[in-house]
Structure 1
Amino acid sequence: MKTETRMIHDVIIVGGSYAGLAAALQLARARRKVLVIDGGSPRNRFAKSSHGFLGQDGRAPGDILADARAQLMAYPTVNWLDANADKASAIGHDFHVTAAGKDHEAQRLILATGVCDELPAIPGLAERWGVAVFHCPYCHGYELDQGSIGVLATSEGSMHHALMLPDWGETIFFLNGAFTPDEEQAAELKRRGAKVETTRIRRISGERADVELEDGRVISLCGLFTLTRTSMASPLAEQLGCAFEEGPLGPYIQTNEFKETSVQGVYACGDAARPAGAVALAVGDGTLAGTGVHQSIIFHRDP
């Protein structure tokens, strides 16, 4: 395995998961000098399998990443650093990233830093995240085999989840005091066949997702879906002064159609730069960022 040595790179990519790897691959194939800095904590590390990604459906996320990294590292212009990037700044027309106690320099910077998920504070919920508690029905709904499914409300935005999930199984919408559907919303839920449970949840238990209610009842589910609140997994975008947009789940980095941020020369891709994420979308985002960066180096001269 190649290790990083002191040099000025064409591009530094912070984040070596799906988006970062996809961006790096495009640049490697253009024979550009790339440094990938990765802390080893992909967002879907808690899931046993990944779904909905063409050609990789059902594989373990770690296996997909390991294969992709091995393929990337076969290109001689790519270096990899296992570390967290602590600081980023623009100095002149170049970018400096501090990681593992050293300063690394490049003409362009790609942020594929991902997001963190903040789960509702219900005992037993976090322990089942990615195993029996999910956020994306396209990623995990089919495997529940049309069994009983729960939707845990966190806000009025959870109505979207509750109206979607009946396509994957009999759905119970646990309001848990988050909000009360109005008359029109109640009619929509009824039309979709989603049952509504108003009693608050005490905890989640069992091998899958047994919902223990405050009145003593226990409702056994094959899976439970909930919306998380997301936040940036890295402070770099804020340090660099990148603009953010507010999405339904949390803030994300604003980019244009080429994945360039509001800071010239800084690009962002994957979950950190989308209102909602999925593996396939992250790979597409990374591909756009990689090609966008390459063409910016060729066609845009610094003043």
Structure 2
Amino acid sequence: MGRIVVGMDADVVVIGGGPAGLSGAKALARSLRSVVVVDDDRPRNAPADGAHNVLGHEGIAPRDLLAIGRRELEGYGGRVVDGRVVDARRTDGGFVVELADGGALTARRLLLAGGGVDELPDVPGLAQRWGRDVLHCPYCHGYEVRGQAIGVLATSPVSVHSTLMFSQLSPDVVLFAHGYSPTAEERATLDARGVQVVEGAVAGVEVTDDRLSGVRLASGEVVAREALVVTSFVRARTDHLAGLDLPVEELRMGDLVLGTKIVAEPTGRTPVTGVWAAGNAVEPMGQVVASMAAGLMAGAQLNMDLITNP
């Protein structure tokens, strides 16, 4: 049975205790596998007031959702270790995961679910408002800013795509041509949707009573806005996994590079034998429920791999 692991701390160590990691760990624990989740409490969606489109938990605070997941996992015998992984490498019969406090865990398999990090455009004030009224996803936060005065910071053609989606949610959307000027065809499409294009670089944001109140241009002009949409560069969290020699590739949309991600099959299997990955580290655009589903798939596949390759 999976709970008897001779010479190992666990069948599977899961690195990252977000929706993907906890979902995968729970699937393994329900299959009577010994599983340990190591988490450093840096969820990507932590700045957000709530997680949306999570059926049965609409608008739940991100950390509350994870706390529920932890309790469910522990109810099936899984363990959660609060700590930071500094490296992981192959060892005889499995893997060793090194922790920042000097400790280590050994396992027969690994599930990588460390998520991604959003790198924002270099505009003062964006990071402080991120996840509140500086947004990126219409499905994650769009309903909450419906009908408001919305701005979109243009950095690439993707920003035009975002503008069109947010124009579905408000009649007052402005595109700031900060780092990208729309083509004539794109301008015609935006004009048809009633979107104004404001030329010039953006120098910062204005905040009044702890709420976004405007976007400040380099010229000094301030355009009143209640929300600002930006496109982040999503970088997979892999710096702490150097010992695995894990393949990482660019996330591309045509010629545009939108981020980095771990190379993995739809099942979560990576090219590194014995290592699976799930969540935003593999699919940076995945929302909470998509990450949960990916974690569940990876957990099920890991269990089968342990059955067929004990």
1:158-177 aligned within 5 A:
158-169=159-170, 170-176=172-178
Q: Say which of 196, 216, 219 aligns to 1:215.
A: 219
Unaligned runs of 5+ in 2: 1-6, 253-257
Matched, 1:291 2:300: yes
CA contact (8 A) 2:19 2:288 kept: yes
Matched, 1:232 2:272: no
CA contact (8 A) 2:87 2:242 kept: no
1:9-28 aligned within 5 A:
9-28=10-29
In the TM superposition, what is the alpha-carbon distance from 1:146 to its structure 2 partner? 1.6
1:198 is matched with 199
Q: Structure 2: which amino acid aligns with 1:105? A: T
Q: Structure 1: which amino acid aligns with 2:193? A: R
In the TM superposition, what is the alpha-carbon distance from 1:236 to its structure 2 partner? 4.1
Q: Give the secondary-structure state (helix, strand or coil) at the position aligned to 2:303.
A: helix
Residue-by-residue CA offset, 1:32-74 (whole Å, 9 max, x unaligned): 0001100011001111111111111111111111111112111
Q: Provide the TM-score with structure 2 as the length reference.
A: 0.90
CA contact (8 A) 1:209 1:224 kept: no
Matched, 1:263 2:264: no
Identity %: 37
- Of 258-267 and 207-216, more deviation after overlay is shown by 207-216
Q: Distance in 1 between matches of 2:122 and 2:273?
A: 39
In the TM superposition, what is the alpha-carbon distance from 1:293 to its structure 2 partner? 0.5
CA contact (8 A) 1:114 1:272 kept: yes
- Of 208-217 and 135-144, more deviation after overlay is shown by 208-217
Q: Distance in 2 between matches of 1:200 and 1:161?
A: 19
Q: Distance in 2 between matches of 1:193 and 1:292?
A: 48
Q: Distance in 2 between matches of 1:238 and 1:31?
A: 30
CA contact (8 A) 1:111 1:237 kept: no
CA contact (8 A) 1:150 1:223 kept: yes
In the TM superposition, what is the alpha-carbon distance from 1:8 to its structure 2 partner? 2.6
Residue-by-residue CA offset, 1:222-272 (whole Å, 9 max, x unaligned): 211111112232324543122223114211011112110111110000000
- Of 263-272 and 209-218, more deviation after overlay is shown by 209-218
CA contact (8 A) 1:88 1:239 kept: yes
CA contact (8 A) 1:149 1:222 kept: yes
In the TM superposition, what is the alpha-carbon distance from 1:122 to its structure 2 partner? 1.2
Task: Note closer, same or farther for the CA distance 1:165–1:26 as it changes in structure 2 (3 Å cut).
Answer: same
Residue-by-residue CA offset, 1:260-300 (whole Å, 9 max, x unaligned): 01111100000001141311111111111111111111123
1:110 is matched with 111
In the TM superposition, what is the alpha-carbon distance from 1:7 to its structure 2 partner? 4.5
Q: Structure 1: which amino acid aligns with 2:219? A: D
Q: Structure 2: which amino acid aligns with 1:147? A: Q
CA contact (8 A) 2:150 2:173 kept: yes
Q: Structure 2: which amino acid aligns with 1:114? A: G
Q: How many residues align?
A: 294
Q: Give the secondary-structure state (helix, strand or coil) at the position aligned to 1:41.
A: coil
CA contact (8 A) 1:259 1:289 kept: yes
Unaligned runs of 5+ in 1: 1-5
Q: Give the secondary-structure state (helix, strand or coil) at the position aligned to 2:280.
A: helix
1:157 is matched with 158
